[in-house]
Structure 1
Amino acid sequence: MSKFSELVKQDKPVLVDFFATWCGPCKAMSPILKEVKDALGESVSILKIDVDKNQALASQLHVKGVPTLILYKSGKQVWRQSGVVQKSDLLQVIKRDI
């Protein structure tokens, strides 16, 4: 958890994707996240966290379903959404915090 805390304390926004390898909607998010990263480059960090391998962290953050996306800015959660989020919506949310 301490490593996670350090990662989300960056000055730039950090988008965390809680996913599972068996989850269809999670697989649909992967290319969307790649497009978001391509569009925003180094102005955002994107972390993918497998809930099956990180159950304690997922539980601590009350991640009940996958995919769950959480946006952090300077260590604080500024946005959260479960389910597939379209590229245009993600860009709008992230750009608000850049």
Structure 2
Amino acid sequence: MAVDVTTDKTFEQDTNTGVSVTDFWATWCGPCKMQSPVVEQLADELGDKVAFTKMDVDENPDTPSKFGIMGIPTLIVKKDGAVVDTLVGYHSKEQIERTLAQYTA
């Protein structure tokens, strides 16, 4: 499964059903470049249970502002449209898997 690109216009629609993870990132962000392959690997492995999206914070300022995102990378986990977890900074595959296990069991 691929990581879909989401925007300010499509974010709510893209993340309103089931469990979703959105990777907030920017092209100039070093830790984001480390986080991205981890998110892509998780999308391949968990794509049948979790929807994975990513949002460039420079191109889409409204959604990060709405969620109070001050640092990137930030991963927002939503379940049925409600934010249930936020992971700020780089996180390992195992850390993200542990977080998601709480919502996909």
TM-score for the superposition, normalised by structure 1: 0.92
Tell me the residue number matched to 1:64. 70
Note the residue ranges of structure 1 that are not aligned, 5 or more in a row: none
Measure the CA separation in 2 of the matches of 1:9 and 1:28.
27
Give CA deviations for 1:50-82 in whole Å, capped at 9, x if unaligned. 000001111111111110110000000010011
Q: How does 1:15-94 map to 2 (within 5 A)?
A: 15-94=21-100
Measure the CA separation in 2 of the matches of 1:30 and 1:38.
13
Q: How many residues align?
A: 97
CA RMSD between the two structures? 1.2
Measure the CA separation in 2 of the matches of 1:7 and 1:64.
22
More helix by share: 1
TM-score for the superposition, normalised by structure 2: 0.86
Percent identical among aligned pairs is 34
Measure the CA separation in 2 of the matches of 1:48 and 1:22.
15
Deviation, 1:92, is: 1.2
Deviation, 1:36, is: 1.1
Give CA deviations for 1:17-64 in whole Å, capped at 9, x if unaligned. 100000000000011111211221321111100000001111111111
Tell me the residue number matched to 1:6. 13
Deviation, 1:2, is: 5.6
